[in-house]
Amino acid sequence: MESKIFSIPKINCGHCVMNIKRELSEMPGVAKVEGDPGTKTVTVEWDAPASLDKIKATLNEINFPVAE
């Protein structure tokens, strides 16, 4: 299982985190999504077929791009 903490500057509230959790949780392979609006971070745990690139692409699609 892979895990990564993503910095997402557009997170402003708990509602933003809920949207991200809902979208990423629907991806095959994503096991866990936790978010913190205070630190503007989201922690994701996943296995194949999910991948880092797919997770980043989904975050971009829902208008929560990852800060590099």
pLDDT at 67 over 80: yes
Residues 16-47 have pLDDT tens digits of 999 999 999 999 999 999 999 999 999 999 99
Chain-wide mean pLDDT for the chain? 97
pLDDT at 24: 98
Instruction: Give the pLDDT confidence score for residue 68 in this predicted structure.
Output: 77
Give the residue among 8, 3, 2, 46 at the shortest CA–CA distance from 24.
Answer: 46
Query: How many whole angstroms separate alpha carbon 32 and alpha carbon 6?
Result: 13
Domains of the chain (ranges, CATH numbers): 2-61 (3.30.70.100)
What is the residue whose two structure tokens read 């791009």? 65
